[in-house]
Structure 1
Amino acid sequence: MSSEPAPISSAARDALERELADLHRERGAVAATLKDSDMQVGDEADAADELQRADDLTRLDDRISEITTRLEQADVAGPPPTDVVGVGSTVAVRFADGTVETFQIGETATDADPTLVTADSPLGRALLGHHVGDTVSYDAPDGPASAVVVSLGEPRDSRD
C-alpha cells in the first residue's frame, strides 16, 4: 500500500477503538503487577515472571502506539472515497456467474466477516483504484477470475 494516510470505515474505526480500550485495560493490569513485584524479593522464577510481564508491557505499548497512529492517519485522510475503490470503501461487484456481492475493503481481517475483503488480498488489490463499470481481473483460489464494479458507497441490493 502507499505511504499516504488511508481512510477507514466507521466499522473498522469502531473495532480499532474497542481494541485500543481493551489494550489500555490490559496494560493497566500488567503495569499494576510490575509495581507490586518491585516490593517483593523473590527467586529466579519470580524474576523471569517479571521479565515476561515487562515484555508484555512493551508488546501492549507497541500495539497501542500502532492503533493510535492509524486512527490519527485516518482522521487526516478523511472519509473513504465514493468515486474510486479504496481502503474503507463499500463496493458491490458482479462476478462472472452473474452474482452480485457487496464488500467492505479493509486493511486487516477481523473475526470471520465474509463481507470484508482486505486490501492486500487478490480481489482487494484488483479493486483498488477502480471505478463503477470497470472490470478487474484477479487470481482466485480456483484460478484466474474477473468481476465488474457495480457500485461504490452504500451497500446495494444484491438483486441488482
Structure 2
Amino acid sequence: MTGGPEPLSAVARAAFERELADLRTERETVAVTLREGGGDQVGDRADQADELQRVTELQRLDARIAVIEGRLREGAVAGPPSTDEVGVGSSVTVRFADATETTVQIGEVAEVLDATMVTVDSPLGRALLGHRAGDTVTYDTPEGPTTAVVLSLGDAS
C-alpha cells in the first residue's frame, strides 16, 4: 500500500460493513453483561476474572471497530484506484509463466466465492503492488518462485 488513502473496492466495502455490523452487535452483547454484572457487588475471584475478561473483550472489539471505521472513511476519500500503478482496488491482467492469462482484482478482503480476488497480503498481491503494465514480477508459490507479467490494469470497482 502507498501510505496515503487507499481506494476501497465495492466488495471490500461490503465485507467491512458486514463485519462492522457484526462487531457492533457483539459489542452491545458484551456491554450489557458488564452493566448487568456491575455495580457495588463484591464477588469472588472467579467473578472478578470473568468481568476482567469481558472488559478485555470489549477493548478488543472497540479497537477492531475503530480500525474498520477508519478504513471505511479512508476508502471514501481515496477516489478510484490508479490506472497507472497496481494498488488496492486495481483490476490487473497478468500472463503467468505457463503463458495463461487472467484478470484478477487486488483487494484487502478475500471473498470465498470470488476466484478472481487476490489479497494484498498474498504472495501474488504483494508482488503486483506498485507495478505498471509491462513489468515482470516474481513471487513464491508452493512449487517455488515463479513470474508473471502485468499486461494491463484498470479499476476493479
Query: Offset at 1:94?
Result: 1.3
Contact 2:15 2:109 in 1 (8 A): no
Distance 1:141 1:112 in 2: 22
Letter in 1 for 2:23: L
Contact 2:110 2:117 in 1 (8 A): yes
Query: Offset at 1:73?
Result: 1.3
1:76 is aligned to: 77
1:137–1:61 Cα change, 3 Å: same
Structure 1 stretches of 4+ moved >3 Å: 39-42, 108-114
2:122 is aligned to: 121
- Spell out the pairing of 1:1-160 with structure 2 (5 A cutoff): 1-39=1-39, 41-109=42-110, 111=112, 113-153=114-154
The total of aligned residue pairs comes to 155
Letter in 2 for 1:134: D
Letter in 2 for 1:57: L
What is the Cα-based RMSD across aligned positions, in Å? 2.2
The 10-residue stretch of structure 1 (17-26 or 138-147) with the greater mean CA deviation from structure 2: 138-147
Which deviations, in whole Å up to 9, do the C-alpha atoms of 1:15-58 show, x marking residues without a partner? 00110111111111110110000145532222211111111100
Query: Offset at 1:152?
Result: 2.1
Distance 1:52 1:113 in 2: 37
Distance 2:47 2:121 in 1: 43
Per the normalisation by structure 1, the TM-score is 0.83
Which deviations, in whole Å up to 9, do the C-alpha atoms of 1:108-157 show, x marking residues without a partner? 546575432222333222212223333222233322311122332367xx
Distance 1:154 1:71 in 2: 18
Using CA pairs below 8 Å that are at least 6 residues apart, which structure has the higher relative contact order?
A: 2
Name the % identity.
62
Which deviations, in whole Å up to 9, do the C-alpha atoms of 1:62-114 show, x marking residues without a partner? 00001111111112211222332111112121112122222221235465754
Give the gaps of 5 or more residues in structure 1. Answer: 156-160
Where 1:30 maps in the other structure, the secondary structure is helix
